[in-house]
Structure 1
Amino acid sequence: MNENFWKDKYPEGVPTEIDPDQYPNIQAVLKDSCERFADKPAFTNLGKTLTYGDLYKLSGDFAAWLQNHTDLEPGDRIAVQLPNVLQYPVVVFGAIRAGLVIVNTNPLYTTREMEHQFNDSGAKALVCLANMGHLAEKVIPKTEIQTVVITEVGDFLPPFKRFLVNNVVKYVKKMVPAFHIPNAQKLNDILALGSKKAARNANPDSGDLAVLQYTGGTTGVAKGAMLTHRNLIANMLQAKAVMASNLGEGTETIVAPLPLYHIYAFTFHCMAMMMTGNNNLLITNPRDLPSMIKDLKNNKFTGFVGLNTLFAALCNNSDFRKLNFSNLKMTVSGGMALQIATAERWTEVTGSQVCEGFGMTETSPIATVNPIQNIKLGTIGIPVSSTLCKVIDEDGKELPLGETGELCVKGPQVMKGYWLQEDATKEVLDEDGWLRTGDIGIIQEDGYIRLVDRKKDMILVSGFNVYPNELEDVLATLPGVLQSAAIGIPDEKSGEAIKVFITVRPGDSLTKEQVIAHMRSNLTGYKVARHVEFRDELPVTNVGKILRRQLRDEELKKTSDANQ
């Protein structure tokens, strides 16, 4: 689809183009926002709030320490392994101001995953939570990391509360195994040291690398997507353009339950919200629903950024349903497919429509979104400003409207490429800047795009394509189903047979016969599961996306073991 096709698809007030060169780098955006919104709250966590002025001061202290007390130079990589705590934005923006490249690292990583990411990125420094210190201790000697900074959950809280929180985490909940890392330094100590000298803001080019963001690894070994300053600035401007008519500047509180080290939350909360001067309510552990709901009760939140599994879990919680949602005017979904049944239930409970978008690590991440003024459930919306989409067949030929093929994206937010992986880059990114997403989609006449499923997750039953998302959408409408996942398993007669995994809502019960009967009444025969397995829980990623690949691997292992 060419530019002319998309131009009349944008609602009034949403620009078709943004200027990705409006700012030379992220440092300039940060300085501008922190000066304009100095007294406004930027991040809130565990009852403590940092203003934009606080953020600039503390990030400057961290930058000054990096510049005056380490051997790190602009362009060096620093791994940041922190959950949603106030220390995260301080460290990230401080490192960026010093010219370093951020390597966002999942705190739930195993030593194997940490070692791969640290070595692949060539990280020379690490900032991590004390809870992960025992793992870092094992991994660091196998890497090039020389500078290590440790922080505890409550380090930015007032003295008494800091002592209380850190001791409860360490001694009551026993969440900090003993560790010893020679020369590791405490974050609060180095901030005090850094405050004695002024930071010198680095001035990188817009095309320089800002973040090395590793893909989830669900399709093999994790690769580092190279996101430049221009990529991230483009995406924050694109996000702002979509929200402009619905959100004010310096007046909103957006709930941030998804991890900031994940690109979806990183760009939305650390980048787009910074540009609008709004506050982010950081939820450190979204799986602890009682604590999260307590936070929501104590804060007048106007926006909520989540994903399907979290929306479903909250709507099934009686305490959540009792909250006051009168201030909520925007709910955004991404990270995984939004099921219509879940979206409708959320609207029923909160009064807020869910605005679904689509993106990837490789697109910084937002590529398409439902404009808030015109949400169409079941779609991922239209391309964000300055972005084009098309659908192609197996041979790379563009398909007409309404036909199913692989979705491709082109825009200023598309990554530079994969770190040190030229061949992998060429597989997904062509010379004209088109990125192959690996997702199967359809572009409708109205410009809205529907995703069918991941290319790699497609099930082939007797030559017919079956998409797990469709099956899971149907299962979501069966009373009693909390979560579901559909996969293909080897079958002698049909090539693959469908197997569904289901978790049941507390207090409900379901049988295999009920599941199959529901599928039969809603789906063509070949799309009905032949196998049903009930589980207490399904494997999920750090952001709550169900891992179909892990389920497939488990089934293949069962088959292999049975044949031996």
Structure 2
Amino acid sequence: MTPSKPSINISSHPSEKPLDWDRTKTLIDTLEELRKLYAKLPAYSQQGQTLSYEQMIRLSRKVASYLQKHPELKQGDRVAIQLPNTLLYPVIAWGILQAGMVIVNLNPQYTAKETQKQLKDADVSAWFCADISAHLIDEVRLSLRCPLIVVCKLFDLHPWAQRNIFQFVLRYKRKAIRPFKSDKTLSFRKLLREGSAKAWVKPEIKPSDLAMLQYTGGSSGVHMGAMLSHANIVANMYQVDHFLSDNIVKGKEILIAPLPIYHIFSFTVHCAVTLLSGSHNILILDASNIPGMIAELKRWKFTAITGVNTLFFALMRLPSFKTIDFSSLKFAIAGGMKLDPLVAQKWEDLTGAPVLEGFGMTELSPVASWNPKADNRLGTIGKPMPATEMRLTDDEENVISTTDTEGELWVRGPQVMQGYWKHPEQTQTHIDSNGWMRTGDLASFDAENYWTITGRKKRMILVSGFNVYPQEVEAVLNSHPEVDSSKVVGRMHPVNGESVKAYVVLKKHGLSQNDLKAFCKTELTSYKLPKQIELVSKLPANE
């Protein structure tokens, strides 16, 4: 006889760690408080240059004052940042917030069409663009009403000699900077000079005011901006900080930041949470350069590192990984994609530190659950964050109260977004009247309140921590004049988690898989590209 599963007679599973914080504070208020505590401590380092918290805040206020005084900008305007992990990123991001404006993150690897689509949807009034992406300006500017475009050299905050050496290598050795017309754009260094002559005025904003438009496909696959307020992000800052409080020492932590900060997980950890602890963030410009990253790791006695399964695997493959000093490492933080327990166990065997996996979504600012270091259980997403509730429902949206039973995961807490930008109908579909957010993920829980992701209800492919929505890739394939129809699916990948596969029906013979791949490359950034294309006479029904 099979024993029955335990039943837990509650409608939701709240966090076991109580938390209280001042809910009247905005991100600007929080930054001002932290400045008093950590002004002289190092905040960010990148390739030989370090900014203290005081320097970072002072520079960010120059950015803020310039934006405030610009005649065509106003409080509440959306301002885009299209930058990789450089010292400029936190300076610009906090400058936008201190101007009372809204951050819109863009991937610097986006194609012109991807960039244009997001900039137009967000109605941006200003755009901070990396020089490695500045060639996009010529292709998209005519379709925008964007009175301020700022071109940022990746090493603008380094000393003169270093700055010029690094820029020479980028432009002439790596050919990473393509020509573009510089008319009607402003250089970042000129913006700083002009911002220095203007006094910063603290804007009057409320916790409920918008702080960020972070784009995602959500559980619907439609590319939309998740509206994250000051209250959302401040709440998640305190939730994560409180959850990790037993394992961190204020002012003493050194965190490695290899994941792109334009991604919400990395942004929250390295531009928000670490400020509460006065931590020192080491920015990795190009985490795909694994030997270069290992060389940087060897320079620091770091205490924590963020990453995804793909990165942990790639690091451990190199023999030089074992030459790194891990004596200070407390834990690694995994986010963005499912963590392979075998990879996590090997990491702990080699470094002596566990990998703590959690669950998050852009719409949740982003963290909803995490594994506690004291009882880390590989294969699970841990327990709900402080002030967070999680529950499961069946197909009829009845609440599931039995353990080890699969259902759709819902989350409620102060980190749940305000809604989707310009999509009120999608907001109503995904957030109910009681504040519960439908995630589109399938999960189960056990008797000790540990949760496990078991699958997805939504159509989404997760490639190395990046969400790929089949509808977007299909739209590109179907736009080719010789394509009749297509279907895009995910395939398991031993390193990247999943890869993209496309089935394509052609209108007539002649077009090859390589032709289609080349066409997609002009429309989609690299992680969205189909790695496999199968030409078929009829689309498969059960894929």
Coarse TM-score class (shorter-chain normalised): 0.7 to 0.9
| Aligned CA-pair RMSD | 2.9
Matched, 1:141 2:142: yes
Instruction: Give yes or no for the alignment of 1:123 onto 2:124.
Output: yes
What is the 5 A alignment of 1:400-549? 400-402=401-403, 403-456=405-458, 502=493
SS in 1 for 2:247: coil
CA distance in 2: counterparts of 1:169 and 1:323, whole angstroms = 27
Give per-residue Cα distances to partners, 1:312-344, cap 9 Å, x unaligned.
111111111221100100211110111111110
Structure-2 residue corresponding to 1:67: 68
State the Cα distance separating 1:500 from its structure 2 match.
Answer: 5.3
TM-score (norm 2): 0.84
C-alpha contact 1:18 1:385 (8 A) present in aligned 2: no
CA distance in 2, matches of 1:18, 1:338: 31
Q: Deviations over 1:253-281 (max 9, x none)?
A: 10100011000000111000011111111
| Matches of 2:537 and 2:328, distance apart in 1 | 52
So what's the TM-score if we normalise by structure 1? Answer: 0.81
Give the Å deviation of 1:561. Answer: 8.7
After superposition, the C-alpha distances for 1:280-317 in whole angstroms (9 at most, x for unaligned) are: 11001100111111110111111011111111111111
Q: Which residue of 1 aligns with 2:511?
A: none
| Alpha carbons of structure 1 residues 150 and 545: separation in structure 2 relative to 1, 3 Å | closer
Task: Give the match for residue 274 of structure 2.
Answer: 273
Which runs of 5 or more structure 1 residues have no equivalent in the other structure? 459-467, 473-484, 488-495, 506-538
The 5 A counterparts of 1:34-49 are 34-49=35-50
Say which SS state the counterpart of residue 331 (structure 1) adopts.
strand
User: What secondary structure does 1:456 align onto?
Assistant: coil
Q: Which runs of 5+ in 2 are unaligned?
A: 1-7, 471-486, 497-519
Judge conservation of contact 2:303–2:331 (CA < 8 Å) in 1. Answer: yes
User: What residue is the counterpart of 2:18 in the other structure?
Assistant: 16
Instruction: For 1:228 and 1:152, locate their aligned partners in 2 and report how far apart those are by CA, in whole Å.
Output: 29
Distance 1:220 1:154, change over 3 A: same
Taking the aligned partners of 2:360 and 2:540, their CA distance within structure 1 comes to: 40
CA deviation map 1:375-429 (0-9, x unaligned): 1111101110001000001111111232101000000000000001011111111
SS in 1 for 2:314: helix
- Which residue of structure 1 aligns with residue 109 of structure 2? 108
Distance 1:211 1:275 in 2: 19
**Separation in structure 2 between the aligned mates of residue 4 and residue 456 of structure 1, nearest angstrom:** 23
The answer as to whether partners of 1:20 and 1:234 remain within 8 angstroms in 2 is no
Q: SS at 2:57's partner residue?
A: helix
C-alpha distance in 1 between matches for 2:252 and 2:495: 40
Q: How far 1:504 moved relative to its partner?
A: 8.7
Distance 1:111 1:20, change over 3 A: farther
Maintained 8 Å contact 1:335/1:545 = no
Q: CA deviation at 1:203?
A: 2.6
> Where in structure 2 are the equivalents of 1:227-238 lying within 5 Å?
227-238=228-239
Once residues 11 and 376 of structure 2 are traced to their aligned partners in structure 1, the CA distance between those partners, rounded to angstroms, is 22
> What amino acid maps onto 2:323 in structure 1?
K
Query: Letter of the aligned partner of 2:379 in structure 1?
Result: G
Query: Any conservation in 1 of the 2:219–2:440 contact (CA below 8 Å)?
Result: no
Matched with 1:306 is 307
Aligned to 2:375, the other structure's residue is in SS state coil
1:94-147 CA deviation, whole Å, 9 max, x = no partner?
111011100011101111111111111100110011111111221111111110
Distance in 1 of aligned mates of 2:526 and 2:256: 19
AA aligned to 2:331 is M
Higher relative contact order (CA 8 A, sep 6+): 2
**What is the number of equivalent residue pairs in this alignment?**
485
User: What is the CA-CA distance between 1:158 and the residue it aligns to?
Assistant: 0.8
The residue number in structure 2 matching 1:534 is: none
Contact 1:62 1:194 (C-alpha < 8 Å) held by counterparts: yes
Structure 1 residues 217 and 82: alpha-carbon distance in aligned structure 2, compared to 1, 3 A threshold: farther
Contact preservation (8 Å) 2:370, 2:383: yes
Q: Matches of 1:546 and 1:105 in 2, distance apart?
A: 15
Residues in 2 aligned to 1:421 and 1:276: alpha-carbon distance in whole angstroms: 36
Question: What letter is aligned with 1:205?
Answer: K
Quote the Cα distance in structure 1 between the aligned partners of 2:9 and 2:92: 41
Residue equivalent to 2:245: 244
1:476 aligns with none
Cα distance in 2 for partners of 1:18, 1:113 equals: 40
Question: Cα deviations across residues 73-101 of structure 1 (Å, max 9, x unaligned)?
Answer: 11000010000000000001011101110
Residues 321 and 455 (structure 1), Cα distance of their counterparts in 2 relative to 1, 3 Å cut: farther
What whole-Å deviation, never above 9, does each CA across 1:130-173 have from its counterpart, x for those lacking one?
11111122111111111011111111111101010011101121
Q: Does structure 2 conserve the Cα–Cα contact (< 8 Å) formed by 1:359 and 1:368? A: yes
Contact residue 392 and residue 444 of structure 2 kept, 8 A: yes
Could you report, residue by residue, the CA deviation over 1:482-529 in whole angstroms, capped at 9, with x for unpaired residues?
xxx9x9xxxxxxxx9x99565699xxxxxxxxxxxxxxxxxxxxxxxx
Q: Residues 309 and 545 of structure 1 are in contact (CA less than 8 Å); yes or no, is this contact kept in structure 2?
A: no
Aligned to 1:283: 284
Tell me if structure 2 keeps the 8 A contact 1:336–1:545: no
1:55 aligns with 2:56: yes
Structure 1 residues 120 and 70, CA gap change in structure 2 (3 angstroms): same
Greater shift after overlay, 156-165 or 69-78? 69-78
Q: Report the secondary structure of 2:127's partner residue.
A: strand
Q: Which amino acid aligns with 1:138?
A: E
Matches of 1:319 and 1:300 in 2, distance apart? 16
Change in Cα spacing, 1:503 to 1:333, as seen in structure 2 (3 Å) is closer
The yes-or-no answer on 1:390 pairing with 2:395 is no
SS at 2:242 equivalent: helix
Aligned to 2:134, what secondary structure does the other structure show? helix
Inter-CA distance 433–550: structure 2 relative to 1 (3 Å threshold)? farther
3-state secondary structure, aligned to 1:245: helix
Please tell me whether the aligned partners of residues 221 and 458 of structure 2 are also in contact (alpha carbons under 8 angstroms): no
Distance apart, 1:19 and its partner CA: 2.7
Counterpart of 2:201 in structure 1 is 200
User: CA–CA distance in 2 between the matches of 1:562 and 1:251?
Assistant: 55
Q: CA deviation at 1:221?
A: 3.6
After superposing on structure 2, the runs of 4+ consecutive aligned residues of structure 1 that deviate more than 3 Å are 1-7, 216-221, 498-505, 544-547, 549-552, 557-563
Q: Name the structure 2 match of 1:332.
A: 333
2:220–2:459 contact (8 Å) kept in structure 1: no
Match for 1:452: what amino acid? T
For 2:129 and 2:538, the matched residues in 1 are separated by 39
Give the direction of change, closer, same or farther, for the CA distance of 1:560–1:166 in structure 2 (3 Å limit): farther
